[in-house]
């Protein structure tokens, strides 16, 4: 059913022109099935983002950009008065931006496509109608998508040159499934492999939704790169063996000081890596930085439903009276991060001054 051709999978695509629609590779069905979800309206996009059919900070940003195009199309179709249509459109765009709170790329992408078509303030919004905006919005969304491909390539290049000898341990999924291109942390791995480096990738299963086991392992198998899946709780034992040259992960939001929010379990992995003297790297585009905050305690952490913990895949594993604690992300302080790999270069040491220096290039 799945052909291994060594190329990166595609997770987000726009089909057609101004009257087209968004298609998302349903990541909740992987690795067993390859199913595409057609998104022809805003509620479908929001449901896909919230249910993790599309996931990964850059990928949901790309999806959010295309979702704004669908919001404009819906406002046009409702045959509302111009100002009412604009209000409907802008409310739908805000609903997309708010679909998941932790990953900053989603709101960044929505606000960028609005800004690039002159909708950064209400007075400007009053001079246009949604029908006028569909073409320009689609061009802006496509540019975000194309830009993400370029950013992933640059991150892969900077990171591959940095990768030390030894096997690599990663957490969650940071490949093509999580981005509009080749990935962030996984792009570092695949670029190094393409350069002739040889190693094994160890993928934390990443509970409770197993993005490492289901998605990262699937991507690496497609690329022909050796991968071993391990329980999250086995990471400390693996690091103690000395075979891991570095840990590398992605990010959903990074502060001006370098504190990093990523999939739950990342902080624990960073602590273990520090305890064993193993370099811990983060790979993310500049759009993942939220320079309005310095301290990671200010990052909003999404909490998800109890069933993901107590009844994974519909199978009850805890008594019904038990409560669940299910934060989707945690924050790794900058002091535990050896370097942050961006498309503009490597931030090392991870300090506010170095973040400002590397990201100050425009």
Closest to 252 in 3D by CA, of 140, 146, 107, 96: 107
Report the distance separating Cα 271 and Cα 131, nearest Å: 52
The two beta strands, 167-170 and 36-39, are: unpaired
> Which of helix, strand or coil describes residue 81?
coil
Cβ atoms of 99 and 49 closer than 8 Å: yes
Report the distance separating Cα 76 and Cα 46, nearest Å: 19
Q: Is the dihedral of CA 32, 34, 40, 46 positive or negative?
A: positive
Report the distance separating Cα 318 and Cα 332, nearest Å: 29
Report the distance separating Cα 46 and Cα 39, nearest Å: 9
Candidates 252, 259, 290, 330; catalytic one: 252
252 is catalytic: yes
Closest to 49 in 3D by CA, of 32, 33, 36, 67: 67
Distances from the Cα of 335 to the Cαs of 168, 247, 267, 277, in angstroms? 21, 15, 11, 13
Report the distance separating Cα 245 and Cα 292, nearest Å: 34
Closest to 175 in 3D by CA, of 187, 165, 167: 187
Report the distance separating Cα 32 and Cα 138, nearest Å: 32
Q: What's the longest Cα–Cα distance across the chain?
A: 67
> Which of helix, strand or coil describes residue 16?
coil
Which residues are known to be catalytic?
252
């Amino acid at each position: 059913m799945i052909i291994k051709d060594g190329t990166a999978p595609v997770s987000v695509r726009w089909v057609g022109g101004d009257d087209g629609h968004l298609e998302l590779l349903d990541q909740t069905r992987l690795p067993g099935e390859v199913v595409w979800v057609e998104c022809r309206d805003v509620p479908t996009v929001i449901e896909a983002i919230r249910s993790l059919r599309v996931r990964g900070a850059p990928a949901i940003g790309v999806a959010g950009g295309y979702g704004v195009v669908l919001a404009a199309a819906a406002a046009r179709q409702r045959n509302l008065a111009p100002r009412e249509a604009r209000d409907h459109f802008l409310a739908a765009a805000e609903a997309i931006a708010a679909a998941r709170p932790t990953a900053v790329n989603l709101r960044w992408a929505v606000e960028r496509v609005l800004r690039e078509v002159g909708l950064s303030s209400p007075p400007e919004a009053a001079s246009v109608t949604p029908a006028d905006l569909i073409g320009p919005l689609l061009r802006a969304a496509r540019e975000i998508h194309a830009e993400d491909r370029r950013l992933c390539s640059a991150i892969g290049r900077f990171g591959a040159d940095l990768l030390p000898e030894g096997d690599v341990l990663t957490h969650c999924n940071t490949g093509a499934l999580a981005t509009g291109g080749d990935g962030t942390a996984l792009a570092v791995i695949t670029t190094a492999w393409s350069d002739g480096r040889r190693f094994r990738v160890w993928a934390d299963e990443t509970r409770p939704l197993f993005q490492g086991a289901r998605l990262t392992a699937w991507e690496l198998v497609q690329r022909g790169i050796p991968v071993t899946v391990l329980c999250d709780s086995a990471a400390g034992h693996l690091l103690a063996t000395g075979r891991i040259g570095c840990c590398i992960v992605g990010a959903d939001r990074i502060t001006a000081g370098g504190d990093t929010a990523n999939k739950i379990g990342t902080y624990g992995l960073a602590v273990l890596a520090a305890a064993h003297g193993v370099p811990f790297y983060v790979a993310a585009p500049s759009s993942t930085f939220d320079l309005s905050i310095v301290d990671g305690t200010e990052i909003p952490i999404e909490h998800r439903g109890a069933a993901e913990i107590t009844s994974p895949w519909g199978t009850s594993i805890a008594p019904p009276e038990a409560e669940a604690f299910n934060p989707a992300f945690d924050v790794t302080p900058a002091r535990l991060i050896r370097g942050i790999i961006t498309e503009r270069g490597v931030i090392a040491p991870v300090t506010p001054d170095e973040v400002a220096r590397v990201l100050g290039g425009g």
